[in-house]
Structure 1
Amino acid sequence: MTPISIIRHPKERRSKCSLTPLEGREDIAFYKARENWSFDMSGFTVLALGAPELSVEDAGRPLLLLDSTWRLLPQLEACLYGEGVRRTLPAVATAYPRVSKIAEDPHGGLASVEALHLAKLLLGERDDSLLDSYYWRKTWLETLACAKLLG
């Protein structure tokens, strides 16, 4: 099972975060970024935009997910150092009905739990328990089925 590390931006609202129900799981380590804090991403697969697509060939490395709004993501990325392997997820429509009054999400922007679930699926470790508390679970799984990503 792939170890998972999640770094949250300090302004991320836990009450609205799709990953909050996963706190306490033994396979997921949560970190809260703060001033003068850094994280060594060496040896991790880091989910990022504009990178080669994640695949089962990336299995074997721990997974790093940055949990933030798109607007604040560069601040989290600035906390990282070392040589991680950046990978992106295929463009899949989110099931989360989000509306931002500040900025538009990039195409393929997913809820954090959707991104984590899809990453594990692409690594060959489907884990639907990640979605146990996700309100849009059924719609998300239907979206993945329509995209022929579920076996």
Structure 2
Amino acid sequence: MTDLPPSPLPPTIIVVHPREKRSKCSVEPLRGRPEFLFWKFPNRGPQPLTSYVRLGLGGPLLSPADSPHGLLLLDGTWRLAAKMEQSYSQLPVRSLLPWQTAYPRVSKYDTDPAAGLATIEALYAALTQMGRPTDGLLDDYRWGKEFVEKNAGLVERCLNGIL
């Protein structure tokens, strides 16, 4: 019997709302990396979503058991992302542990939940909980080091498989 190489992980799909400013988008530096695909809402790419889970609120916690699945994230303000959810309601929802943002929040409408994360923070948290690599993910994020420091306990728990 021959050893087969490990099958590649499905790419993470980031669905960006058209009103999201690319210049302020925390995941913009990831464009061009093969492990990330960007779709502009409401358009979809050709990739089937049959084996994907969606990061959201109210679902079971993301865990290493979800690692073989693709991950879909909605990128926009909380208000815009809530409007986008219906288009992906067929995907099972997975949630995050209580990560703390390092992003200095300022909302004109006070619609961000207290525990809200920047998209890059949510992506880092999700991949960490899934046991996937996060190499270089926060390199271009101004508050990346602070985010990891604030959440060192959660990172440690995830690395040790304690969710």
Normalising by the residue count of structure 1, what TM-score does the alignment of the two structures yield? 0.88
The SS at the match of 2:136 is helix
Distance 1:16 1:87 in 2: 26
Cα RMSD for the two superposed structures: 1.8
Aligned residues: 147
1:10 aligned to 2:18?
yes
- Identify the match of residue 58 of structure 1 among 58, 66, 70: 66
> Structure 1 stretches of 5 or more lacking a match?
none
Contact 2:99 2:154 in 1 (8 A): no
Q: Which of 149, 155, 163 is the equivalent residue of 1:149?
A: 155
Alignment pair present for 1:76 and 2:84? yes
Counterparts of 2:56 and 2:154, CA distance in 1: 22
2:99·2:125 contact (CA, 8 Å) conserved in 1? no
Q: How is 1:1-151 mapped onto 2 (pairs within 5 angstroms)?
A: 1-34=9-42, 37=43, 41-80=49-88, 82=90, 84-145=91-152, 147-150=153-156, 151=159
Share of identical aligned residues, percent? 42
Question: What is the Cα deviation at residue 81 of structure 1?
Answer: 5.4
- CA gap 1:142/1:2 in 2 versus in 1, 3 angstroms: farther
Name the CA shift for 1:38/1:126 in 2 (closer, same or farther; >3 Å).
closer
Over 3 Å counting, the alpha-carbon distance change for 1:111 and 1:105 in structure 2 is same
Using the size of structure 2 for normalisation, the TM-score is 0.82
**Deviations along 1:112-133, whole A, 9 cap, x unmatched?**
0011011111111131411010
